[in-house]
Amino acid sequence: MTPRPRIGLTLDADDSGGRYELKASYVDAVIAAGGLPILLPHAQDAAAAYLALLDGLVLTGGAFDVPPELYGEARRASCGLSKPARTAFEKDLLEAALASRLPVLGVCGGMQLLNVVRGGTLYQDLAADAGLTGHEQPAPKDVPSHEALVAGGTHLAALVGPGPLPVNSTHHQAVKDPGQGVLVAARAPDGVIEAIELPDLPFALGVQWHPEAVVRHDARHLALYRGLVQAARDGRR
C-alpha cells in the first residue's frame, strides 16, 4: 500500500485553558482526501524540523487576526484579537514551506497570512475599512451564505470548476492588496477577494471560506484537499 502523504495541520490555542484545539472537520477532510493528518503545536524553533516531516501543509483558521504590524499598518480599534505566538510559528513555517515548494492550503486566516508573507495587505475590518458587511454569518457556520465567483483558468477552477461556488463566510477581515506574485482566483459578488493562489509554485492556494466545513453541502469543496494531497504525493516522486 502506498503511504498516505503527511499533511501538517496548524493548531489553534486556547491560552486561558492551556490547551491546543482543532476542529475535527480539518482532520476528516485530510483523511477523506487520502492524506495523513499531522497536528502541529506552536514550537517556533522547531518549524524546520516539522517541515522535514511533511509532504503538505494546511494553515487553519481561527477566531483571531493577523497582526497589522506584519503588513505595515498601525492597529485600529476595529482589529480583533491577535495570537502572536501562533502567528509567529505559522509565519516561519509558511515561509519555509513556500521556499521549499511544499504544497500549501491556507484556510480563512491561513489565506490572509499567505497574502501577508508575500507582501500583501488586509482590511483590518471589512465594515470599518470598506463599508462591506455580510461576511460574518450567524450559526450554523457550515451552511453556504453567498457565492464565490471562481475565475476561469486558475488552479482553483481546475479543482472546483469556474463560475459560482456556494461558500460559508465567517470572517471580518479580508485581502486588500494582493502580495507579490499573488493571483486573485475568486471574489464574492461584492468584490471581496475569496481565493488567492501563487502560480509560481506547484500548489499554493488560499481560500477565505472553510471548505472542510461546507463540504457536506457541496462535494466540490473536498477537491481542495484532494488537490493538496495529490500535489503532496507528486512532490514525493
Residue 62, domain member (yes or no): yes
Q: Show the DSSP H helices in 37-83 as ranges.
A: 47-53
Residue 191, domain member (yes or no): yes
Decide if 210 is catalytic. yes
User: For residue 53, what pLDDT is reported?
Assistant: 95
17 — pLDDT class (breaks 50, 70, 90)? confident
Q: Which of 108, 194, 197, 221 is catalytic?
A: 108
- 127 within 8 A of 133, measured Cβ to Cβ: yes
237 — pLDDT class (breaks 50, 70, 90)? low
Residue 1, domain member (yes or no): no
Residue 65, domain member (yes or no): yes
Residue 183, domain member (yes or no): yes
CA 200 from centroid of its chain's CA atoms:
18
Q: Which of 135, 155, 210, 221 is catalytic?
A: 210
Going by C-alpha positions, the residue among 171, 88, 78 that lies closest to residue 124 is 78
Decide if 217 is catalytic. no
Q: Which of 90, 194, 197, 212 is catalytic?
A: 212
> Considering the entire predicted model, what is its pTM?
0.96
Decide if 42 is catalytic. no
Residue 178 is given by DSSP the state -
The boundaries of the domain holding residue 142 are 6-236
Residue 147, domain member (yes or no): yes
Segment 153-162 mean pLDDT: 98
CATH number for the domain spanning 185: value is 3.40.50.880
Residue 125, domain member (yes or no): yes
The domain tally of the chain equals 1
